[in-house]
Amino acid sequence: MRVRNLISIAALAIVTACGGQDPDERFTTLVSFGDSLSDVGSYRTPAIAAIGGGQYTVNGAPIGGTPAINWTELMAATLEMPAPCAARTGLESSGPLAALAAPVADHPDCTNYAQGGSRVSNPVGPWNKALLGLGDPSGYLGQLTEPVSAQVSNHLQRSRGRFSPREIVTVWSGANDLFMQLFQLQAAIASGADPAQAAQAAVQAMATAGSELAATVQDEIVGKGARRVLVLTVPDVGLTPFADGQPAPTRALMTSMAAAFNASLNAGLAADDRILVVDMFATSQHQVANPSAWMLSNVTTPACDLARMPIPSSLVCSSPGTVIAGDTSLYLYADDVHPTPFGHLLVAAVAYDAMVQRDWAKPL
């Protein structure tokens, strides 16, 4: 892979927004489904905005010249499309985090449906208020976590049941299914379940989720008119800073869970020139194994100082206020799982290069 060339292309596109589309086949709108990796501000409530947060990265001032925006925003700029905005906003915070809450509101002109904590089809993801009933205090944050299946349904309700042939669609989901399966696994083992059987069940559940996402893409997105759909695979979560704090068998299990999800996802996406799968699993492995090839200075340490924030999430991280000392401009991770702005630039570069290779976009 022409890594440094990809980085240069993405950086140029951010600065110039020169556009990479063929004028004879112009796409006008980016429609995004997924989780925090694509969320452009679903939970940017007034209280979270007041402390400089709002997206799952290092928010605020540009770091080393890289804007504090995520990969979907970078793609939209590169393709000369309107900047993405959150289709639904709000936060159902309670208890000690009640001050962060805001009413749920829909924004009909916005087409980024991704929400932090969202899963493929299950409505209860990380930080959702339903977790309070399971004794998990993270539920006080009250993320909406509408699953991708519901996000797609919401878009179809707005668009008379069809995707426009002028829309480019992005889908990136699965990581929160992994985190929730890991949570359930640990609870099952604590209750006396056989660890090997519980691990096997978690891997199978991830395979099922991958098949569910593939069915949604095939039946509800491509099957209803979408002509260009980018589907990103789950990265190797076993290599994240979050995984670094886990025992070696758990890290290996997380890798196996992500791989099982991706295998089922790929198997369910039959060869179709309307679907482009972007391999973020292999990309993440290469980045950790060869950081200098990606111009990365650190692939293990979060750029955000999690101890100085009201919750340990880059949702409320901002530069320079809650960033660790030193130059973090080329760090891969903002918190223990989410990319920095530079990390998002790398995602956009890889995704755009895949489009070029498929002749969906022209070289910049």
The 10s digit of each residue's pLDDT in 197-218 is: 999 999 999 999 999 999 999 9
Specify the residue for token string 């159902």: 92
Distance CA 218, CA 2 (A): 31
Q: Helix 248-268 and helix 175-190: axis angle, to 10°?
A: 130
Pairing of strands 59-60, 88-91: unpaired
Per-residue pLDDT of the chain in tens (364 residues, 90 and over written 9):
455 555 554 554 444 444 455 544 578 999 999 999 999 999 999 999 999 999 999 998 776 777 789 999 999 999 999 999 999 999 999 999 999 999 999 999 999 999 999 999 999 999 999 999 999 999 999 999 999 999 999 999 999 999 999 999 999 999 999 999 999 999 999 999 999 999 999 999 999 999 999 999 999 999 999 999 999 999 999 999 999 989 999 999 999 999 999 999 999 998 899 999 999 999 999 999 999 999 999 999 999 999 999 999 999 999 888 999 999 999 999 999 999 999 999 999 999 999 999 999 988 8
Helical residues (DSSP H) of the chain, grouped into ranges? 3-16, 46-50, 71-78, 148-158, 175-190, 195-215, 241-244, 248-268, 280-289, 341-357
8 Å CB contact between 115 and 146? yes
Phi, psi at residue 24, to the nearest 5°? -80, -15
pLDDT, tens digit (0-9, with 9 covering 90-100), for 299-347: 999 999 999 999 999 999 998 889 999 999 999 999 999 999 999 999 9
> Could you tell me which CATH number the domain at 3-357 has?
3.40.50.1110
Q: In 3-state terms, what secondary structure has residue 229?
A: strand
CA distance 143 to 130: 10
Domain ranges of the chain: 3-357
At 200, give phi and psi (nearest 5°).
-60, -40
CA distances for 262 relative to 116, 145, 165, angstroms: 20, 21, 27
Question: Is the CB of residue 346 less than 8 Å from the CB of residue 4?
Answer: no
Structure tokens at 205: 């559940």
φ, ψ of residue 30 to 5 degrees: the values are -100, 120
For strands 102-106 and 88-91, give the pairing: antiparallel
Measure the CA–CA gap between 257 and 260, rounded to whole angstroms. Answer: 5
The pTM of this model reads 0.94
- Structure-block tokens of residue 290: 């060869």
